[in-house]
């Protein structure tokens, strides 16, 4: 545990100097302020923010996590030659990436909401931040899994970008095709299963269920609302997101421990 904490502190301190984090934080601060400038309607601001959050956060987490993994290859090689468990190196570096990106989100989303928001927005803002942090951790784990599996940086970057395109763009098209082509069949359960295979869809459902804006929930959101109650549906989606956090993390650590450097 001490080894993990020491590596985590060193990695986090080094990554905090990155200019990407400053730009990342400023992006969300300016976005929050810009949305409030154009409208004071908390629901409209939140809906706009939800769509941006579920598109930008996974992309940044995937690319940043992959770049950190490969740019730290010399450090990783040095650490595994020391009397340090490989598991400690992997956990510390993965956690450091998720941690600093989450801190940027806390500042970028939390500070403007404190200054410009209202008391009634606090529960939704906290839910958006919590969900965003969980999505960050999920896709950081996927990035490190890609790095552990492939020794080629370009191949790993290509893979994570494809993952983002698949979950953010292509997946909704596949769900739409299934619902249109098989509309005569009882497809509610298969669609719920398919939605569980997309962490972005789960995050979107969680946030839109809280707002209860049925017009924007889409087919999967409406299914969650009809099959589960609001709170039960959010709980089920959160549990599935935790599965998405656990599986890539454990899989990446397993590959990392067995990898021949």
pLDDT tens digit string along 137-149? 999 999 999 999 9
Average pLDDT, integer, range 204-231 = 63
Query: Do 175 and 194 touch, CB atoms closer than 8 A?
Result: yes
Tell me how crowded residue 234 is: count the other CB atoms within 10 A of its CB: 20
User: Residue holding tokens 């601060």?
Assistant: 29
pLDDT per position as a tens digit, 78-104:
888 888 888 888 999 999 999 999 999
Query: Do 95 and 8 touch, CB atoms closer than 8 A?
Result: yes
Q: What is the model's pLDDT at position 145?
A: 94
- The residues, ordered by sequence, that sit 6+ positions from 178 with a Cβ below 8 Å of its Cβ are 187, 190, 191, 194
Query: Do 57 and 136 touch, CB atoms closer than 8 A?
Result: yes
Query: Do 204 and 193 touch, CB atoms closer than 8 A?
Result: no
Higher-pLDDT residue of 83 and 185 is 83
- Gap between the Cα atoms of 175 and 170, Å rounded: 9
pTM here is 0.89
Q: How many residues does the chain have?
A: 261
Q: For helices 188-196 and 199-211, what crossing angle results, to 10°?
A: 110
Average pLDDT, integer, range 123-138 = 88
Q: Phi and psi of 16, rounded to 5°?
A: -65, -15
User: Tokens standing for 171?
Assistant: 């997946």
Average pLDDT, integer, range 106-115 = 82
- Gap between the Cα atoms of 45 and 40, Å rounded: 7
Dihedral of CA 23/210/224/145: which sign? positive
Query: Does 117 have pLDDT greater than 70?
Result: no
Q: What is the model's pLDDT at position 192?
A: 74
Q: 63: closest CA among 13, 14, 101?
A: 101
Opening angle at CA 240, ends 176 and 28, nearest 5 = 80
Could you say which DSSP state residue 182 is in? T
Query: Does 229 have pLDDT greater than 80?
Result: no
Query: Do 46 and 31 touch, CB atoms closer than 8 A?
Result: no
- The residues, ordered by sequence, that sit 6+ positions from 179 with a Cβ below 8 Å of its Cβ are 187, 191, 219
Q: What is the mean pLDDT of the chain?
A: 82
Three-class SS of residue 184?
coil
Three-class SS of residue 29?
helix
């Amino acid at each position: 545990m001490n080894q993990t904490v020491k590596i985590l502190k060193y990695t986090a301190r080094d990554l905090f100097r990155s200019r990407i984090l400053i730009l990342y934080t400023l992006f969300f601060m300016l976005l929050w302020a810009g949305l409030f400038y154009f409208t004071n309607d908390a629901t409209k601001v939140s809906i706009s923010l939800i769509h941006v959050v579920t598109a930008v956060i996974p992309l940044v987490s995937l690319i940043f996590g992959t770049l950190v993994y490969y740019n730290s290859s010399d450090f990783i090689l040095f650490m595994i030659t020391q009397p340090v468990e490989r598991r400690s190196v992997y956990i510390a570096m993965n956690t450091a990436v998720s941690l600093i990106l989450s801190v940027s989100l806390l500042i970028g989303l939390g500070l403007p909401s404190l200054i410009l928001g209202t008391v009634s927005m606090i529960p939704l803002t906290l839910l958006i931040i919590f969900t965003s942090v969980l999505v960050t951790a999920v896709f950081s784990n996927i990035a490190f899994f890609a790095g552990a599996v492939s020794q080629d940086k370009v191949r790993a970057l290509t893979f994570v970008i494809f993952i983002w395109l698949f979950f953010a763009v292509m997946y909704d098209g596949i769900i739409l095709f299934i619902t249109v082509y098989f509309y005569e069949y009882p497809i509610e359960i298969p669609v719920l299963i398919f939605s569980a295979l997309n962490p972005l869809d789960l995050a979107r459902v969680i946030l839109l269920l809280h707002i209860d804006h049925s017009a924007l929930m889409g087919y999967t959101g409406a299914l969650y609302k009809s099959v589960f109650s609001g709170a039960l549906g959010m709980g089920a989606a959160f549990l599935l997101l935790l599965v998405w956090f656990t599986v890539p993390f454990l899989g990446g650590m397993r590959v990392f421990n067995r990898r021949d450097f």
